[in-house]
Chain A
Amino acid sequence: MLKLISRRLIGMVPLLLIIVTITFFLLRKAPGSPFASEKGFKPQVIEALNRQYGLDKPLHIQYFNYLKGVVKGNLGPSTRYVGRSVNDIIWEHLPNSLLLGFTAYFIALLVGLPLGIIAAVKQNSLVDYLSMATAMLGVSTPTFVLGPIMIILFSLTLYILPPARWGEMRHLILPAVTLSVVYIAYIARLTRSGMLEVLGADYIRTARAKGLSESAVVMRHALRGGILPVVSFTGPALAFLLSGTIVVERIFAVPGLGNIFIEAANSRDYFVVMGITLFISIALIVMNLLVDIVLGLLDPRISYK
């Protein structure tokens, strides 16, 4: 296990180097510059600004300077928000996105798992069909359609929750629920198929044969194997969650990382775009590693050599 972790962490280094290189040259080769949009600047002012941010040096020197900074954990300055570093911007907005994402995923597990288990245990019953049809509806409703519908329903018709505020726990409800619906649907479907596979296995027959109660068979024996697909879905889910949060942050005006990223991309804030891309990549790789470790702990058939 330790071998696996260290090998994967070492493998991260070239991967991150590739990501940094791709984003760096992609951004620099693109037309436009951070200061071109601010019209009315004299050429001398633009030149001075470029010099201040080191953008006047040859591209390869800029690249190595950036790499040096990244190694030291310094992601550079923002060209849009004067005097602020990318690190500051990420640390300020990340907690909001994380809170939103994890609450949504938690809600999804809380609702999706029982839904899938019940559907599997009562296979081909009305409950099964209903929950699977609902799950399909959840998968098919884009977040940006669902969000506004939630606002119409809860903010503009029932007046229970505010449409776009941030700061109290209460304000988290609408965005988190909106974001969770797709995952509820996925998790319910994965749990159902995983449970169905396990419930047909021999060791479940053995458990039943030794006279265990049905709930003990399902909850203690079947569930452990049945939720494996859900655990492996966590990796891709987190990647999805990233794009989901961008939309939800936009609709509900949440001051998160997604909103900042779109703004930065549109205003060519080079360092912010690169910094967030790099940060997200690291987060994704680490989460995928954690998922593999959990899978190995849950499923004795998986061995890492």
Chain B
Amino acid sequence: MNQTTQLVELVEGTSLWQDAWKRLKKNRLALFGAVTLILISIAVVIGPMLSPYSYDQIDLNITNQPPTFSHWFGTDTLGRDIFVRSLVGGRISLMVGLVATAVSFVIGVTYGAVSGYFGGYVDELMMRIVDILYSLPYIFLVIVLLAFFSKDITMLFIALGAVSWLTMARIVRGQVLSLKNQEFVEAARAVGVSTPKIIFRHIVPNTLGPVVVYTTLTIPSAMLSEAFLSFLGLGVQPPLSSWGTMVNDGISSISVFPWQLIFPGVMMAITLFSLNFLGDGLRDALDPQSRKE
């Protein structure tokens, strides 16, 4: 399965990743998603620097203007440029997506790998804890955390990262359970490799397929949670902008100035759409068995 047979005399082994890349290249929708994401990332990173306006620049002479050449997406109730605010909101959104995912990656992979490798009572206890955390109504706990402690962005990162590692831990544990008794692990043990090294150098790299797939699905869900909390006034605080707060601000004047809501909203939907397509494409590419032909 891992061999290309087009050239008989040059049978070359292809790695999982080369194989996956070949399949991904054929998936037009996934590629389209990737390109859109790259464009959006470039725009949100350098766009605000190139614009003559800044996200918190108030100009009460030009409030609630419809889209014009000088303000592509129009202005909001304080005369701030919606285009720049949407881009800055995109920065926050991407940042939250990446940081929360990184947190869930580090905690989830470590936790799952340790639990699966040691097995027995350790595994039982560690997974029972995950089960308990699973049944907490965590959206409510996150709201409580943000409302009662602090509404700053670090808290948001911590709260979102802390709740998104559970599924990751389960996935990794399952993988590790099936890997830990294989020959290459026994070989490593036989030559005296230390336990942490066996786990992180030998086993964890082999679990990366499903982990990558789940990671690409965590990013949009973290972004959605950020926007959701900001929408409720619990996430990003003004004057900083987030897609969630912009939509929330836009609702009050929806009948008169719909562009204040539509631009950030649509931008967010496009980003999530691309991420989901890419995630789906990656899943098909890395786990061909899951694709029903």
The answer to whether A144 and B144 touch across the interface, beta carbons within 8 angstroms, is no
Tell me, yes or no, whether B220 is within 8 Å of chain A by CB: yes
Q: In the complex, which residues of chain A have a beta carbon less than 8 angstroms from the beta carbon of B60?
A: none
Partner of B144, one of A23, A142, A149: A23
The answer to whether A19 and B268 touch across the interface, beta carbons within 8 angstroms, is no
The answer to whether B147 and A142 touch across the interface, beta carbons within 8 angstroms, is no
What's the minimum C-beta distance from B53 to chain A, rounded to whole angstroms? 24
The answer to whether B143 and A152 touch across the interface, beta carbons within 8 angstroms, is no
Partner of A140, one of B132, B145, B273: B273
Partner of B273, one of A136, A261, A262: A136
Partner of B231, one of A136, A141, A144: A144
The answer to whether A196 and B268 touch across the interface, beta carbons within 8 angstroms, is no
Tell me, yes or no, whether A83 is within 8 Å of chain B by CB: no
Tell me, yes or no, whether B139 is within 8 Å of chain A by CB: yes
Chain B 253-290 against A: per-residue CB contact (8 Å), 1 yes, 0 no?
01100100110011011001101110010000000000
> How many Å lie between the Cα of A193 and that of B283 in the bound state?
14
Main secondary structure of the interface of A (DSSP, over half): helix
Give the interface segment out of B16-24, B80-88, B179-187, B244-252: B244-252
The answer to whether B251 and A281 touch across the interface, beta carbons within 8 angstroms, is no
Q: Tally A-B pairs: CB < 8 A.
A: 113
Q: In the complex, which residues of chain A have a beta carbon less than 8 angstroms from the beta carbon of B228?
A: 142, 144, 243, 247
> How many Å lie between the Cα of A140 and that of B147 in the bound state?
27
Partner of A151, one of B139, B140, B254, B276: B254
| Residue of chain B at shortest CB distance from A129 | B29
Tell me, yes or no, whether B149 is within 8 Å of chain A by CB: yes
Tell me, yes or no, whether B232 is within 8 Å of chain A by CB: yes
> How many Å lie between the Cα of A196 and that of B135 in the bound state?
31
The answer to whether A288 and B268 touch across the interface, beta carbons within 8 angstroms, is no
Main secondary structure of the interface of B (DSSP, over half): helix
The answer to whether B148 and A15 touch across the interface, beta carbons within 8 angstroms, is no
Give the interface segment out of A26-34, A68-76, A170-178, A291-299: A26-34
Interface residues of A in 257-273 (CB under 8 A from B): 261-262, 265-266, 268, 273
Q: In the complex, which residues of chain A have a beta carbon less than 8 angstroms from the beta carbon of B266?
A: 145
> How many Å lie between the Cα of A15 and that of B228 in the bound state?
27
Tell me, yes or no, whether A285 is within 8 Å of chain B by CB: yes
Q: In the complex, which residues of chain A have a beta carbon less than 8 angstroms from the beta carbon of B11?
A: none
Q: In the complex, which residues of chain A have a beta carbon less than 8 angstroms from the beta carbon of B262?
A: 149
> How many Å lie between the Cα of A247 and that of B225 in the bound state?
11
| Residue of chain B at shortest CB distance from A151 | B254
Partner of A148, one of B143, B144, B145, B265: B265
| Residue of chain A at shortest CB distance from B248 | A144
Q: In the complex, which residues of chain B have a beta carbon less than 8 angstroms from the beta carbon of A268?
A: 148
Q: In the complex, which residues of chain A have a beta carbon less than 8 angstroms from the beta carbon of B140?
A: 242, 261, 276-277, 280
- A-to-B contact residues, CB < 8 Å: 15, 18-19, 22-23, 26-27, 30-32, 123, 136-137, 139-142, 144-145, 148-149, 151-152, 156, 193, 196-197, 200, 239, 242-243, 246-247, 250-251, 261-262, 265-266, 268, 273, 276-277, 280-281, 284-285, 288
- B-to-A contact residues, CB < 8 Å: 132, 135-137, 139-141, 143-145, 147-149, 220, 224, 227-228, 231-232, 244, 247-248, 250-251, 254-255, 258, 261-262, 265-266, 268-269, 272-273, 275-277, 280, 292
Give 3 closest A-B pairs by Cβ, nearest first: A30-B148, A145-B265, A265-B147
